[in-house]
Amino acid sequence: MKKIKKLLVANRGEIALRIMRSAREMGIQTVAVYSEADRQALHVRFADEAVCIGLPPSAESYLRMDKILEAAKLTHADAIHPGYGFLSENEDFAALVSDAGLIFIGPSAKSIEVMGNKLAAKEAVSKFNVPLVPGTAEPIDDVAKAKKIAKSVGYPILIKAAAGGGGKGMRIVEREEDFQQQMDRAVSEATSSFGDGSVFIEKYITQPRHIEFQIFGDQHGNVVHLFERECSIQRRHQKVVEEAPSSILTPEIRKAMGEAAVNVARSCDYYGAGTVEFIMDENLNFYFLEMNTRLQVEHPVTEMITGIDLVKLQVKIAEGEKLPFKQEDLTMHGHAVEVRVYAEDPTNNFMPDIGTLKTYQRPQGNGIRVDDGFEQGMTIPIYYDPMIAKLICYAETREQAMNKMIRAIDEYEITGLETTLGFCRYVMQHEAFRSGNFDTKFVETHFKPEVLTSTPVEEEELLAVALSSIRERKKNNGTIHQEQHTISKWKQNRLH
């Protein structure tokens, strides 16, 4: 067993900071790497040492394995944490790190390779009693044959890139007439995004819920799951609201899914933190989608309900320790909700809205956690993912957690750019979300941009504020002694 003394974090933004915080609590020195766009970034300021690794585009900095390894050598780091995105699911990087005699905080290169390809992953898990979405087990190259398969699976179907990720490389086909065209598009998108044009067919689940399990394995063959996260509120097949636990799982289904998730991990001799994603249909049948071989963006909701610091556990597992608990020792408490605060405009099709954080005030108080990498006055760089922050609320019950989230969103003050906060507030108060009766089509079904721009409700609210302030003024002989703020901060900003 080798204790880690100095950790290099090969990432940026909130996740780099989040990892370094845990490392520091463990007495581990930290090294940041950064691109020229991130000179002033918080992760650079927080780290004990920092090394500039290149120009702003990720291909010239955060994706440069050679530069990152050089930085590790220069600073005498003995381990590398890849975070999520960037090189986190790159098996060559994991292998290079180990070959250089450093500890890679993640699974083996082999596990990453198997799970990095959705078809290879399906093949691996098929021997482990894990339910799969009906479809093809191999890449499709013969259109006539593929059409036959699509017909037997039944339309609508989904054409997916085997090497896909980040919600990219997916095409829904409603009718046979559209098959050829959609397949051509899927292949070209897969080739340009992932450098691998292989695609396959899956039945398109029409009222799908995305439910994933956090799993953890050690290097001694032990694997457990840390319960589920529901991530059905998505735009562009990408998550924007997550929660734990899911409001629809019964203890029986949770147990069955948890066992399937552990089996997925066993199918590739997994160790470290991983996420097994499932899709669930309206009859609560679940099917394996893919495994993400890294720390997940939404891991904080799991930390809240289990009380376990997943990054610290990752470090200990990488050092060779055994899992400190068995499945039966694990329990969950309370309810956690996370919203992703993206610099995007929900009223304009969630298009990125990059700019400077003119004002930036985080919400505070009991049960609130903000993971971010920015401060007031900073500019969101155009080169990377436009996520500003993750806002996580924890309370005893689901309803209390949602109410806390609304309060926290109202307290969050961001001006200078549009964010997803208003949309997330809309989700939190929506009957479908509150009742638990929602699926991944929430945005298409329930969301119209108008609900965020000036609505009658908002005008009523404004009127109410105006009236009550007049009343106050009258009461106090024309002097206002109390300011009324019943409108949330993000709404006020929109009104200006």
439 touches ligand ADP by CB under 6 A: no
Listed residue (160, 83, 164, 159) closest to 116, CA to CA:
164
Kindly state the smallest distance separating residue 482's Cβ from Mg ion, in Å.
49
Residue 56 or 131 having the CB closest to Mg ion: 131
Binding mask 328-367 for Mg ion (x = CB under 5 A): ----------------------------------------
Which residue in 279, 301, 323, 339 binds ligand ADP (CB under 6 A)?
Answer: 279
Residue from 34, 93, 179, 204 in contact with ligand ADP (CB under 6 A): 204
The number of residues that bind ligand ADP (CB under 6 A) is: 28
Q: Are 157 and 203 in contact (CB under 8 A)?
A: yes
Residues 326-385 that bind ligand ADP (CB under 6 A): 385
Which residue's Cβ lies closest to Mg ion?
Answer: 277
Query: Does the footprint of ligand ADP cover residue 82 (CB under 6 A)?
Result: no
Q: Which of 122, 239, 404, 489 binds ligand ADP (CB under 6 A)?
A: 239
Closer residue to ligand ADP in complex, CB, 420/440: 440
The amino acid sitting at 125 is: V
Instruction: Scan for tokens 């019964």, then name that residue.
Output: 250
Structure tokens belonging to residue 397: 């019950």
Closer residue to ligand ADP (CB): 203 or 491: 203
Which residues is 285 bridged to in the sheet? Answer: none
User: Tokens 């819920």 appear where?
Assistant: 209
Only one of the segments 17-25, 41-49, 295-303, 307-315 lies at the binding site for ligand ADP (rule: CB under 6 A); that segment is 295-303
Question: Considering the complex, what minimum distance in angstroms separates the CB of residue 291 from ligand ADP?
Answer: 9
* Catalytic option among 12, 229, 294, 362: 294
First-to-last C-alpha distance (Å) of the chain: 59
Q: Any contact of residue 243 with ligand ADP (CB under 6 A)?
A: no
Taking CB under 6 A as the criterion, the residue among 277, 344, 345, 418 binding ligand ADP is 277
Report in angstroms how near the CB of residue 302 gets to Mg ion at its nearest. Answer: 16
Would you say 28 or 297 has its CB closer to ligand ADP? 297
CA-to-CA separations, 433 to 182, 316, 457, in angstroms, rounded: 32, 37, 20
Taking CB under 6 A as the criterion, the residue among 82, 107, 164, 373 binding ligand ADP is 164
For the window 261-290, what string marks contact with Mg ion as x by the rule CB under 5 A? ----------------x-------------
DSSP-assigned letters across all residues of 36-104: GGGTT-HHHHHSSEEEEEE-SSGGGTTT-HHHHHHHHHHHT--EEE--SSTTTT-HHHHHHHHHTTPEE
C-alpha distances out from residue 494 to 167, 228, 406, 424, Å: 29, 36, 17, 15
**What backbone phi and psi angles, to 5 degrees, belong to 49?**
-140, 155
**How far is the C-alpha of 255 from the C-alpha of 213, rounded, in Å?**
11
State the nearest-atom distance from the C-beta of 391 to ligand ADP, in Å: 15
How far, in whole angstroms, is CA 109 from its chain's centroid? Answer: 22
Tokens of 292: 């993400």
Residue 362 annotated as catalytic = no
Query: What tokens does 151 get?
Result: 């017909």
Q: How many other C-beta atoms lie within 10 A of the C-beta of residue 380?
A: 23
Contact residues toward Mg ion (CB under 5 A) are 277
Contact residues toward ligand ADP (CB under 6 A) are 84-85, 133, 158, 164-167, 202-205, 208, 210, 234, 237-239, 277, 279, 289-290, 292, 296-298, 385, 440
- Active-site residues, by number, are 294
